[in-house]
Amino acid sequence: MKKLVSMLMVFTLLFSFTACGNNNNAGESEKLQDSASQTEQQTTVSEQEPDSSAETSLAESNPVETETKSLVAYFSCTGNTKAVAERIAELTGADLYEIVPAEPYTDEDLNYNNNDCRANREMNDSSARPAIGSDSIDISVYDTVYIGYPIWWGTMPRIINTFLDTYDLSNKTVMPFCTSGSSGISKSVSDMKAEEPDADIRDGLRASGSSDSGINEWLSNNGLM
Ligand SMILES: Cc1cc2nc3c(=O)[nH]c(=O)nc-3n(C[C@H](O)[C@H](O)[C@H](O)COP(=O)(O)O)c2cc1C
């Protein structure tokens, strides 16, 4: 009888452990399911709505490039306009580009006392477009383009028309400047406006030497300094 009772007790104990064990498994599998569904939810949320704080910190560490770029393009045969161009580039931090004629002008070409000199022949022909020999540039990266030239017969030399025909200046700020014996710049600016109706062509500067005062005033009047 004692043997039977102790066997019964052992059997009862074994049964209750097994039941407990099963319950624990059920609890754990519920927990796993819960956490799996949470992970799934989190994945779905993060796929649908990227963390806005992460976006903000990315934008802060990679600010959008807003710096404007300027170019000083110039043509000069005897160095006067070149000196002014270099000074403007120094003052503004602009890139410098020399418009070099494919066929250089000799002294005889520039001898305007001779009616048949090359410069005079070009200026007498409004369709003349002397070729540019310097490497071409990507003008699209510039917001402001300074264009410098000597005055020839009251206006810009025809090679400047070649430059205007070659490059698209639409929606750019254009700052014409010149050197001359005595003539002003206004005729060349109105000629340029007729050629570039979509550019924002500002009042020009006739520079005497590379004197900073005139250049500084012109730049600050145009909000460029
Ligand atoms: C063909 C030719 C025509 C010129 N026509 C004029 C003119 O109409 N008015 C003027 O004031 N200077 C005139 N000049 C003088 C130049 O504009 C002046 O010397 C200028 O500063 C030269 O610039 P650069 O050294 O950059 O070539 C002329 C010069 C040349 C060669």
Taking only Cα atoms into account, the Rg of the chain, rounded to an integer number of angstroms, comes to: 39
CA of 150 to the centre of ligand 1 (A): 5
**At a CB cut-off of 8 Å and minimum separation 6, what does 153 contact?**
112, 120, 123
C-alpha torsion angle, residues 45, 46, 51, 52 (rounded to 10): -60
pLDDT of 45: 32
Cα distance between residue 163 and residue 157, in whole Å: 10
Instruction: Report pLDDT for 61.
Output: 52
Query: Which atom of ligand 1 is nearest the CA belonging to 183?
Result: 11
Contact yes or no for 166/98 (Cβ under 8 A): no
Output the pLDDT for position 92: 96
- Dist. CA 136 → ligand 1 center (Å): 26
List all residues whose CB is within 6 A of at least one atom of ligand 1.
Answer: 76-82, 110, 112, 119, 150-154, 179-183
Beta-carbon contacts of 82 under 8 Å, excluding residues fewer than 6 positions away, are 74, 76, 98
Return the residue whose CA atom lies nearest to atom 9 of ligand 1.
183
Question: Whole-model pTM?
Answer: 0.75
Q: How would you label 103-126 residue by residue, b for 16+ Cβ within 10 Å and e otherwise? A: eebeeebbeeeeeebbbbebbeee
Separation of 153 CA from ligand 1 center, angstroms?
A: 7
Q: Report the nearest-CA residue for atom 30 of ligand 1.
A: 152
The CA 149 to ligand 1 mean position distance, Å, reads 9
Ligand 1 centroid to 112 CA: how many Å?
A: 9
Residue 149 phi, psi dihedral angles, 5° rounding? -165, 160
Tens of pLDDT along the chain (225 residues)?
455 445 544 444 444 434 434 444 434 334 334 443 443 333 333 333 444 444 444 445 555 556 789 999 999 999 999 999 999 999 999 999 999 999 999 999 999 999 999 999 999 999 999 999 999 999 999 999 999 999 999 999 999 999 999 999 999 999 999 999 999 999 999 999 999 999 999 999 999 765 787 999 999 999 998
Residue nearest to atom 16 of ligand 1 (CA): 180
CATH superfamily of 70-221: Flavodoxin domain (3.40.50.360)
